[in-house]
Amino acid sequence: MPDQSPLRRGLGAALIACVIWGLLPLYFRALHGVPAPEVVANRIVWSLILLLAILAWRRSLPELWAVLRQPRLLLTLVASALFIGVNWLVYIWAVQHGHVLAGSLGYFLNPLISVMLGALVLGERLGRLQWLAVAVAGCGVALLGLQAFDALWISLALAFSFGFYGLIRKMAPVGPLVGLTVETLVLGPIALGFMAYWQARGQLAFTVAPPSLMALLVAAGPLTTIPLMLYAFAAQRLRLSTLCLTQYIGPTLQLGLGLLVFHEPLTPAHSVAFPLIWAGLALYSWSAWQQSRPATQRPA
pLDDT digit string, tens, across residues 155-207: 889 989 988 888 888 788 888 889 889 999 999 999 999 999 999 988 888 88
Query: What's the average model confidence in pLDDT over 255-278?
Result: 83
Rounded (to 5) percent helix, strand, coil in the chain? 85, 0, 15
Enter the DSSP assignment of 34.
S
> How far is the C-alpha of 153 from the C-alpha of 144, rounded, in Å?
10
The region of weakest confidence among 86-100, 122-136, 205-219, 223-237 is 122-136
Q: Which helix H or strand E contains 70, and what residues bound it?
A: none
> How far is the C-alpha of 244 from the C-alpha of 288, rounded, in Å?
9
Q: By CB neighbour count within 10 A (0-12 exposed, 13-18 middle, 19+ buried), where does 109 fall?
A: buried
Reply yes or no on whether the pLDDT at 75 is more than 70.
yes
- Mean pLDDT value across the chain: 83
pLDDT for residue 293: 57
| Cβ atoms within 10 Å of 170's Cβ, excluding its own | 14
What percentage of the chain has pLDDT greater than the value 90?
38
pLDDT for residue 126: 66
Instruction: Report angle CA 170, 171, 173 to the nearest 5 degrees.
Output: 90
82 phi, psi to nearest 5 deg = -65, -40
Amino acid at 230: L
pTM of the predicted structure, to 2 decimals: 0.85
Tell me the pLDDT band of 82, cut-offs 50, 70 and 90.
very high
pLDDT for residue 140: 74
Q: Residue 286 to residues 80, 127, 129, 298: CA-CA distances in angstroms? A: 30, 12, 9, 13
Q: What is the pLDDT of residues 109-155, one digit of tens each?
A: 877 777 777 777 777 676 777 777 777 777 877 776 666 667 788 98
